[in-house]
């Protein structure tokens, strides 16, 4: 789990570096080609691809649409915000999933989990600081990406268990890739340097590696023990933010992150004990 989260943090770092030279659409398109190729290769190796008539299940397509929204919103925010702050706000995902499940799916949520949700969102507000002049409007994009990712994962819950995870990942990656190419005429194409190609290639490998590792962690480890380690991505993001971008998290970002992690980890443990699927298996954008 720790290795998977480190891989996701590496992907975010390289995407942020690339976004200084090329647009979001170009990143989605080019990284998408590489990621889709890698995942399709893995799916073929494990025999996880479904026949053509079963490939585009309605739930899979809705999930792909939600992931497109997640990717667009997250990369847009990542381009303009510190890496650690963006990563920390996105960690509100498990809390958001539980909130939306209670509202839309009528899942029963006890007072302890309601308290954890409230405390977690207080942590997000501390990171965002909406009442200060330093408020970054792009923090709203991260929140939109969290909402979209939560919808994505709620749709995932409704999928038939007969649909392999790698198959879903292939369809999703392909949809994000095609969206990037469709958006390119409006966004514009920027010249690609060897450095940009290398960064996107490594980012694609990092995403694919992170996905495989997180699936292995969830399937091989005890969920209540493994799942909270998803928050190790914050440590990786903090370190990479300092080393690569010279971004030193402020006191409010550190305090807010600690609150989000504590409430989220508590939520995951509560839901795992109650047999509810958590967001630990979800990919990051």
The pLDDT tens digits of the residues spanning 132-159 come to: 655 678 889 999 999 999 998 888 877 8
- Per DSSP, helices labelled H in the chain are 2-18, 24-46, 52-55, 58-80, 83-90, 93-104, 111-128, 138-157, 165-187, 194-220, 223-226, 232-245, 251-273
Residue 281, pLDDT above cutoff 70 = no
- For residue 156, CA distances in Å to 58, 125, 136, 207, 277 come to 11, 28, 31, 19, 10
**Cα–Cα distance for residue pair 25/15, rounded to 1 Å:** 12
Query: What's the whole-number average pLDDT of the chain?
Result: 87
Chain centroid, CA 214 distance in Å: 12
Q: What would the pLDDT profile of 258-271 be if each residue is shown by its tens digit?
A: 999 999 888 877 77
List pLDDT tens digits, range 181-216: 999 999 999 999 999 999 999 999 998 888 888 877
| Closest C-alpha to 98, from 67, 131, 121, 79 | 121
Residues with Cβ within 8 Å of 150's Cβ and at least 6 positions away in sequence, in order, are 93, 96, 97, 99, 100, 279
Cβ atoms 10, 206 nearer than 8 A: yes
Looking at residue 132, what is its pLDDT?
60
What pLDDT sits at residue 51? 80
Residue 280 has a pLDDT of 43
- The DSSP secondary-structure symbol of 229 reads G
| Tokens (6 digits) for 82 | 């510190």
Indicate the burial class of 125 (C-beta count within 10 angstroms; 0-12, 13-18, 19 or more). Answer: middle
């Amino acid at each position: 789990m720790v290795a998977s989260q480190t891989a996701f943090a590496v992907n975010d770092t390289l995407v942020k570096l690339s976004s200084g030279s090329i647009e979001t659409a170009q990143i989605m398109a080019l990284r998408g080609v590489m990621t889709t190729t890698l995942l399709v290769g893995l799916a073929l190796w494990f025999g996880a691809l479904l026949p053509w008539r079963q490939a585009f299940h309605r739930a899979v397509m809705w999930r792909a649409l939600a992931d497109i929204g997640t990717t667009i919103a997250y990369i847009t925010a990542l381009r303009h915000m510190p890496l650690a702050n963006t990563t920390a706000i996105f960690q509100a995902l498990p809390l958001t999933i539980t909130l939306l499940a209670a509202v839309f799916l009528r899942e029963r949520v006890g007072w302890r989990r309601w308290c954890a949700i409230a405390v977690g969102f207080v942590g997000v507000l501390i990171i965002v600081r909406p009442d200060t002049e330093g408020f970054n409007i792009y923090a709203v994009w991260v929140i939109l990406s969290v909402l979209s990712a939560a919808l994505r994962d709620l749709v995932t819950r409704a999928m038939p268990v007969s649909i392999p995870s790698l198959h879903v990942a292939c369809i999703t990656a392909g949809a994000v890739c095609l969206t990037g190419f469709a958006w390119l005429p409006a966004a514009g194409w920027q010249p690609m340097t060897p450095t940009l190609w290398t960064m996107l290639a490594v980012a694609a490998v990092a995403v694919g590696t992170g996905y495989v590792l997180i699936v292995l962690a969830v399937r091989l480890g005890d969920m209540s023990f493994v799942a909270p380690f998803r928050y190790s991505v914050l440590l990786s993001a903090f370190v990479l933010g300092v080393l690569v971008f010279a971004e030193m998290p402020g006191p409010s970002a550190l305090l807010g992150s600690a609150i989000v992690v504590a409430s989220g980890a508590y939520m995951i443990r509560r839901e795992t004990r109650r047999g509810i699927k958590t967001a630990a298996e979800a990919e990051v954008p």
